[in-house]
Structure 1
Amino acid sequence: MTLPTYNQLMLPLMKLLAEQKKPIKLSEATQILSDRSGLTSEELSLMLPSGTKTVFYDRVGWAKTYLVKAALIQQPKRGFCELSPVGHSIDLSQLSAINNEYLMQFESFAQYKSGDLSINNQNLKPDSNSPNFSLLEETRTPEEMLQDNAELLKRTIKSDLLKLIKENSPAFFERLVVDLLVAMGYGGSHQDAAQAIGKTNDGGIDGIISEDRLGLDKIYIQAKRWENTIGRPDIQQFKGALADQVAKKGVFITTSSFSKEAIESAKKSGIVLIDGDRLTSLMIEFGLGVTIERSFHVYRIDSDRFEESI
């Protein structure tokens, strides 16, 4: 028997969650699905090439991820999942399958997948209501497909990182800012940076950190673990605090986003803005809160090696 694809696991996972009276652990859901699958123990124990998890568990995980992106499943707490109100509203008995094409009718999923479907020729980009996946496969080279899937994985990791950050306390966020700035080469020692952040509470400034290990210049920090969009008044307040300190450099870091007016105001003042998207990108770039599970190398022929001297 062939292992089901993640697409083929979406409907069984939805039906399983519909049976539950309360949120269920993904590991428990995976076990139930494996018991119902009719697969042999050898098939269920097949591991990914990385050796980190079974193929079946990985595919259930991706089925869950895509259903979450479509807002059909919600995660009330870490490691648990349940049907969302939208998921409960669907008559699963009328469906023969759930796949990416079906999920494209949900706006949140279409937005999530839009980057994955982008190709250089915009005329070939499919309409979100009727994606032409075969056309995409024919127009993309294997290297382009590898890059697109890598970007999709990265977006998923960034989304999960931001969710985890928001679930933790403001104190955790301040420590995270310290770790990130030190990883980027700022703040001198980690101890110096830790003492600088979250200690001033001085008129809109959350911390002061050295730009280099010698402490030749200072950077003033504002770190906000917020849900709401940061507006121009917040930037103006930070700008005023910088002026009081006769400071030249400021960085405003948040888990949310900045309004257009806030961005324009910051540009005029030389304030660097780091929103949730850029924050998680930097975390991945500097290996903070993530680990490399597996890497791929793209090879090309070294033509010079095969040229004979005349």
Structure 2
Amino acid sequence: MTEGGRVSDIPTWTGFLVPLLAVLSDGNVWRRRDLYAAVADHMELTEEQRAESVSSGQSRVVSRIGWALSDLNRAELVAKPARATYVIADSGRAMLAMYPGGIDERVLKTIPAYRDYVPVGHAGAVSASKHEAPETSEAANPLEQIDIGVTRLHAEVAADLLARLRGQHPDFLEHSVLDVLVAMGYGGAEGRAARIGGSGDGGVDGIIDQDPLGLDRIYVQAKRYAAGNTVGRPEIQAFVGALHGVGAARGVFITTSAFTSGAREYAQNIGTRIILIDGQRLAELMIRYGVAVQTWQTFTVVEVDEDYFE
């Protein structure tokens, strides 16, 4: 432990924001590994600091640079021209000129792209976990610190999932939502689901059979919308009409954005059973049921076995 109870004297993730922009300001396209090394050199970090690791074994410097780079990308201050490569954006140059002495999360939150990237309902958790990191939080016990970290990680992944889904062709979303529903257990033991989206789909993008003969079915509509483009009552009414057209009494409407209050009220007050899943909920379900995500690391928490000492 260092003076003041801190685990490390390495700057927190916000301390790497300006150095990252400074290195990228040369206008070159940087590979991630080379960029990390250049930032450490720019900050004149010691060999001891570079050798520090967190409990998982990952370099503490790499971890913090990674979070800072992720947030710069989210704020669209840097761009990724290809996988694992980065280049500064014009907005990043402007931000560096405005805040050469340092950028914190309050500054990032003034950028619309940064605010919009965080799913509604997660922003508080993400912010809290960054400002109340385990090394500085005195109120949280170790298990609470783990929970804070997991919450933040899942919020970051959820935001990334939505951004990627919005960037794909609508057909990709239709396949993805069926994968989620099958992973949740719908589709029976055989996981029977079929995408029927496209021209002439009648307002239905997918069908999930709940039994081998297809006697009980769930109809699905998927809309790939940007964050600010909400789904309103007319879209839900159209979906209900499509369900009536095929003699269905229930369906699931999924979007990568959000539903208006009018859309939710209408869905709740009609005889047809309609389940609405917005972008936030969709991302949460993808994480919970392991769709488009993979387990990166697991931790084991132990406690003393009291029976052993009796």
Fold match (TM-score > 0.5): yes
Q: Distance in 2 between matches of 1:93 and 1:118?
A: 26
Give the C-alpha shift of residue 86 in structure 1.
4.1
Please name the residue that 2:64 is paired with: 59
Of 89, 93, 97, 1:88 maps to: 93
Contact map agreement 1:178 1:197 (CA 8 A) in 2: no
Equivalent residue, structure 1, for 2:206: 207
| Deviation for aligned residue 1:75 | 4.7
Q: Secondary structure at the match of 1:226?
A: coil
Q: Quickly say closer, same or farther: Cα 1:169–1:196, change in 2 above 3 A.
A: closer
SS at match of 1:139: coil
Q: Would you say 1:183 and 2:174 are equivalent positions?
A: no
CA shift digits 1:99-136 (9 cap, x unpaired)? 446546657767955224569xxxxxxxxxxx8999x8
One-letter code aligned to 2:269: K
Q: What pairs up with 1:1-310 in 2 under 5 angstroms?
A: 5-20=12-27, 24-34=30-40, 36=42, 38=44, 50=56, 54-70=59-75, 72-75=77-80, 79-92=84-97, 95-100=100-105, 103=108, 113-116=123-126, 137-188=137-188, 192-193=192-193, 195-198=194-197, 201-212=200-211, 215-227=214-226, 228-269=229-270, 270-303=273-306, 306=309, 308=310
Structure 2 counterpart of 1:30, one-letter code: Y
Deviates most, 95-104 or 229-238: 95-104
CA distance in 2, matches of 1:27, 1:160: 21
Q: Please list the CA deviations of residues 252-277 of structure 1 after superposition, one character each: whole Å capped at 9, or x if unmatched.
A: 11212111111111222321111111
Letter in 1 for 2:253: F
SS at match of 1:287: coil
Distance in 1 between the 2:115 and 2:204 partners? 39
Distance (whole Å) between structure 1 residues aligned to residue 186 and residue 163 of structure 2 = 26
Cα deviation for residue 13 of structure 1 reads 0.2
Give ranges in structure 2 of 5+ residues lacking alignment: 1-7
Residues 128-179 of structure 1, C-alpha deviation per residue, up to 9 Å, x if partnerless? Answer: xxx8999x82333332222122111111001111112222222222222232
Alpha-carbon deviation of 1:190?
7.0
Partner SS for 2:95: coil
Aligned positions, number: 292
- Where 1:272 maps in the other structure, the secondary structure is strand
Judge conservation of contact 1:179–1:190 (CA < 8 Å) in 2.
no
Cα 1:62–1:159, aligned 2, differ >3 Å: closer, same or farther?
Answer: same
Query: Separation in 1 of the partners of 2:277 and 2:189?
Result: 22
Q: Measured at CA, do residues 2 and 13 of structure 1 come closer, stay the same or move farther in structure 2, by a change above 3 Å?
A: same
CA distance, structure 2, for counterparts of residue 230 and residue 77 of structure 1: 32
CA contact (8 A) 2:250 2:274 kept: yes
Who is 2:3 aligned against?
A: none
Q: Does structure 1 conserve the Cα–Cα contact (< 8 Å) formed by 2:219 and 2:251?
A: yes
Query: Which region of structure 1 is more displaced relative to structure 2, 270-279 or 104-113?
Result: 104-113
Quote the offset at 1:33 in angstroms.
Answer: 2.6
Percentage identity across paired residues of the two chains: 36
- Write the deviation string for residues 224-270 of structure 1: whole angstroms up to 9, x where unpaired: 22222111110000011111222111011121211111111122232
Report the aligned-residue RMSD: 3.7
SS across alignment from 2:25: helix
Return the offset for 1:73: 3.7
Per mean C-alpha deviation after superposition, the further-off stretch among 249-258 and 209-218 is 209-218
CA contact (8 A) 1:225 1:256 kept: yes
CA contact (8 A) 1:230 1:259 kept: yes
The 8 Å contact of residues 192 and 210 in structure 2, kept in 1 or not, is answered as no
Matching residue's letter, 1:285: R
Range moving further from structure 2, 9-18 or 82-91: 82-91
How many Å apart are 1:283 and its aligned residue?
0.8
Please give the secondary structure, in 2, of the residue aligned with 1:219: strand
What TM-score do the two structures reach when normalised by structure 2?
A: 0.76
Classify 1:170/1:101 alpha carbon distance in 2 versus 1 (closer, same or farther; 3 Å): closer
